Amino acid sequence: MTGDHTNQLPLADLHAAAGARFGAFAGWNMPLTYPAGVMKEHLHTREHVGLFDISHMKLFLVTGPGAADLINRACPLDARALDVKQSKYTFFLTEAAGIIDDLIITRLGDERFMVVANAGNAATDEAHLRTLAKDFDATIEPLDRVFIAIQGPEAAAVLGKAGLATEELFFMQGFEPRADWFMSRSGYTGEDGFEIGLPEADARELLGKILADERAMWIGLAARDSLRLEAGLCLHGNDITPDNDPASAGLMWAIPKDLRADGAFIGRAALATILADGAKQKRVGLKPEGRQPVRSGAELFDADSKLIGRVTSGGFGPSAGFPVAMGYVSTPLAKAGTRVFADVRGTKVPVDVHSLPFTQHRYRKG
């Protein structure tokens, strides 16, 4: 894609008909809110079912005898140890262990893997994979799919009514229910839910059934952000970037312990050094005092007015009932309850380090 060209969602007409207000995100023209508004959309997802068009995200099929080895090189993951249907949260790292992107990789077969990447990094990720693939007997196929997320406590029931069986799938599992379809039990809200990649014609048919169900409602990017922020989930480009490593970002749970010493992944040596020395900063939850949210980019200070970190995401948490944020602080201050101060337009706002998530995850793990 060139320069300032904005990509349009294949289902843009459905969103316009639903009264969406559009705005730019990661090179795409995306629905930000619908007439219900961000508060109602957010709470509806937590109580019933939210429907998200995430077709800006990219699906890559990685296949071939060298597919697992390619993934083991690109990610701190043991692709051969994944069961068929198992999904794993992982990343592409730089040699310095910076996070190029965070991904979900699902094993679909012995030599068949699905990689789900973020919109803003789709081109970078594809180029990165293709460069690495030269050393492996593996094929990378970017898929042209509509991608939708169905999230919330009634998601399985709504999909069942629409004719899609979900009993076979638990949290962080994915499979191909039919040709050219990919379905996983995962999401970005902290609720139970599903993500389905499918051809546009099939998507329109499925959405017709889902939207006929009063439990389901379209949700825009604004509520997607407040939902994931309450759930303590990272947004790449904000909370994790190539300037952050998995140790600082509090994401070491995603890297199997045995790989830290002898994995084949890019960035292993740098990450080992960071782990040995101890990360200088840590990603934390932040709870501002009062009702005023603190926003991404706000600098954080200690009681002696020393700069100790910054906010990477912030907003109001409709389910939490108070402003929520996350960011990085110096490691000694990364304990829940520690008081720091955010600079909000020249005013020092008291902010407490808070455990993540702000709202409990409700995944269906079996």
Residue 341 placed within a domain: yes
Are residues 160 and 39 both part of a single domain? Answer: yes
Residue 108 placed within a domain: no
Residue 1 placed within a domain: no
Are residues 185 and 305 both part of a single domain? Answer: no
Contact present, 309 and 348 (Cβ < 8 Å): no
pLDDT higher than threshold 60 for residue 334: yes
Residue 169 placed within a domain: yes
Are residues 31 and 149 both part of a single domain? Answer: yes
Residue 151 CB: number of other CB atoms within 10 A? 26
Cα–Cα distance for residue pair 26/245, rounded to 1 Å: 22
The mean pLDDT value of the chain amounts to 96
Are residues 40 and 163 both part of a single domain? Answer: yes
Mean pLDDT of 143-162: 98
Are residues 319 and 192 both part of a single domain? Answer: no
The answer to whether 168 is annotated as binding is: no
Are residues 46 and 181 both part of a single domain? Answer: yes
pLDDT of residue 366: 75
Are residues 30 and 171 both part of a single domain? Answer: yes
Report pTM. Answer: 0.96
Are residues 217 and 330 both part of a single domain? Answer: no
Dihedral over Cα of 136, 138, 144, 147: its sign: negative
Are residues 153 and 285 both part of a single domain? Answer: no
Q: CATH number for the domain including 163?
A: 3.30.1360.120
| Residue 340, token pair as written in the block | 């720091």
- Domain of residue 214: give its range: 7-55+145-230
Residue 161 placed within a domain: yes
Residue 199 placed within a domain: yes
Residue 70 placed within a domain: no
pLDDT of residue 307: 98
pLDDT in tens, 283-294: 999 999 999 999
Are residues 160 and 219 both part of a single domain? Answer: yes
Under the banding of pLDDT at 50, 70 and 90, the label for residue 365 is: confident
Residue 293 placed within a domain: yes
Q: CATH number for the domain including 318?
A: 2.40.30.110
Are residues 186 and 300 both part of a single domain? Answer: no
Contact present, 31 and 218 (Cβ < 8 Å): yes
Residues in CB range of 149: below 8 A, 6 or more apart: 50, 51, 52, 54, 187, 188, 189, 193, 194, 195, 196
Strand order in the sheet with 28-33: 7-8, 28-33, 21-25
Q: What is the largest CA-CA distance in the chain?
A: 61
What proportion of the chain, given as a percentage, has pLDDT over 90? 97
- b vs e for 250-281, b when ≥16 Cβ sit within 10 Å of the residue's Cβ? bbbebbeeebbeebebbbbebbeebbeeebeb
pLDDT of residue 132: 97
Nearest to 221 by CA among 119, 323, 344: 119
Structural domains of the chain, count: 2
pLDDT in tens, 253-309: 999 999 998 999 999 999 999 999 999 999 999 999 999 999 999 999 999 999 999
Are residues 50 and 163 both part of a single domain? Answer: yes
Residues in CB range of 217: below 8 A, 6 or more apart: 34, 36, 41, 44, 45, 48, 49, 50, 51
Residues in CB range of 99: below 8 A, 6 or more apart: 91, 92, 93, 236, 240, 241, 242, 244, 245, 246, 249, 251
Under the banding of pLDDT at 50, 70 and 90, the label for residue 4 is: low
| Residue 150, token pair as written in the block | 């169905």
pLDDT higher than threshold 90 for residue 117: yes
